[in-house]
Each structure stands twice: as C-alpha cells, then as structure tokens.
Amino acid sequence: MRRLLREPLLHFFVLGAALFAVYGWLNRGAPGSPNEIFVSRGQVQSLQAQFERVWQRPATPEERQKLVDTWVREEVFYREGLAMGIDRDDPVVRRRIGQKFEFLIDSATPPAPGDAELQAWLDAHAANYQVEPVFSFHQVYFNPERRGATLGRDVDAARRSLASGKPASGDPTLLPETMQAAPLSEVQQVFGDDFAAALGGLPAAGWQGPVQSGFGLHLVRLTESVPGRKAALEQVRAQVERDLLRARAQQASDDIYRRLRANYRVRVEPA
C-alpha cells in the first residue's frame, strides 16, 4: 500500500483529476462542447424582458418555456446553417453581419467637445448654420380667376387707395393677412418660394407690388426685414455638437476600416 502511495503515476492521475475538477467548477454553466446549447440566466431574462415590452405583462411559466424553446430552435438552425456555409452566399446575411459589426464600432461614445472645438467647427461650416431672414408684413390678395380681365386694373386701384391711406379689399382667401417675425422658411411654406424670394427685395416703406405667388397677386406692406446672418455658437450649440460628434464617429469608423483593410489582400478576378 505504501509502495502504491509513493507511485509517481498515481500522483499524476490524482493531480490531473484535481485539476479537471477545479476547471469544471470554475467553468460550470459554460457550454461543454460545440454541440451544447447553453441558455444562460441572462438570456432567459432578456427573452422575458422582450416579451414584457410587447405584451405589457410578465410571461407565464408556459410562455417562458416556449420562449426558451423558440430561442433554442433558432440557435439550432443558425448553427446548422453556419456549418453548411449558407451565410457566405447570402447577401442579406452578409450585409446584416457587416452592419452589426459597424454598429458595434460606431456605438463607442466619443468625448464631448469643448467650446473651442465647437467654435472651430462652426467657423469652418458657417454656411450650414445661417440664421434665416425674418419678415413682418401685411398683404392683400387678388384672385386672377375671379378678377379675370379686370385683375390689373383692380390691383392698381387698390394700390392707389392704400397709398392714400384708404382701405382696399382683396378677395377671400385662407392665406394670412399678416405675418409677424416669420422666418423665411415659414413664408415659403405658406406663400411659396416665388413670393418669399420677392419679399426679400421689397423696401420696408408703404405698399408694394403686385407680388406674384402660386395663388395669385398680392399687394404687400413690409414692416420688418431682418437679413440672414451667421449664427452665434449659443444659438446652434446643440446642432453643432451633434454634427461634430457625427463627423468624428464617421472618421473613427473610417480609420478602423483602414486598419482592418490592411490585413487583407484583395484580388478581383478579371472579367
């Protein structure tokens, strides 16, 4: 017995068994082989959370088991598909995996830029952050279809009446008679591009026109015209920061791609 206990081979087997037991204890719960599908507690919780988001209630034990069974079914089919190599020739799968990898690259949060960096970006891209021109005006509308041949004469008569301080009535319309401190884009949305473009060239004195729009003719009295200008950082900080971070993320993604691309040799078979 003592001779057996002193046998080096026995020591080797005992030590090996101990190491195997320790390894098994440390890796308990992990997949034991490539053919093993391990559904972790976290995976089950994730499936339950998805169920609750859709159905707005916890899953019953039967539903939870069905979620696990469905996930295992998908995993089996996924592994078998990979084993057959069908992912290599599927452009949808190929594109989806590439997009997911790119998403992982882009998901890193870059550090917030400081004021100096934001101002430098604003100065370099000032045309993208212009403050719109602003207009305040009154208008009288004339419908060409309703006025017919008398349209020009009626507009001239109304302009003379307004210039002398007397009232003049136009035609019924849903267009606003007055707009106050309206940005150029708002004027374009309501009256159209032609009217908004003409408005910028009118003097802020008396009744002017007629000004044409897609609706007809207008007499216009401009009371305020503030030209467009370069925006200050305080006015567009959020937009500038968003654009700068997006540009940095794109640059980081491009840099990572270039480093990865350097690991590959690409050969294109000639036609």
Residue 33 — very low, low, confident or very high, per pLDDT cuts 50/70/90? Answer: low
Same domain, 94 and 115: no
Same domain, 140 and 201: yes
Q: Is residue 34 part of a domain?
A: no
Residue 110, pLDDT above cutoff 80 = no
Q: Is residue 124 part of a domain?
A: yes
Cα distances (Å, whole numbers) of residue 177 to 140, 162, 190, 195, 220: 7, 14, 11, 14, 10
Same domain, 79 and 115: no
Same domain, 67 and 187: no
Same domain, 189 and 76: no
∠ CA(145), CA(149), CA(155), 5° rounding?
85
Q: Is residue 78 part of a domain?
A: yes
Same domain, 58 and 121: no
Structural domain count, the chain: 3
pTM over 0.75: no
Same domain, 140 and 215: yes
**Given this model, what pLDDT does residue 233 score?**
92
Q: Is residue 59 part of a domain?
A: yes
pLDDT tens-digit readout, 126-136: 888 888 899 99
Q: What stretches of the chain adopt beta strand conformation (E)?
A: 130-131, 134-142, 178-183, 207-212, 217-226, 229-230
**Given this model, what pLDDT does residue 9 score?**
44
pLDDT tens-digit readout, 55-67: 999 999 999 999 9
Domain of 145 in residue numbering reads as: 133-227
Same domain, 222 and 97: no
Q: Is residue 17 part of a domain?
A: no
Q: Specify the higher pLDDT residue, 32 or 137.
A: 137
Q: Which of 198, 216, 206 is nearest to 151 (CA)?
A: 216
**Percent of the chain predicted with pLDDT > 90:** 44
Residue 185, pLDDT above cutoff 80 = yes
Same domain, 122 and 137: no
Q: Is residue 259 part of a domain?
A: no
Look at residue 219 and give its three-state secondary structure: strand
Same domain, 141 and 194: yes
Same domain, 91 and 61: yes
Residue 267 — very low, low, confident or very high, per pLDDT cuts 50/70/90? Answer: confident
Same domain, 77 and 208: no
Q: What is the CATH number of the domain that holds 223?
A: 3.10.50.40
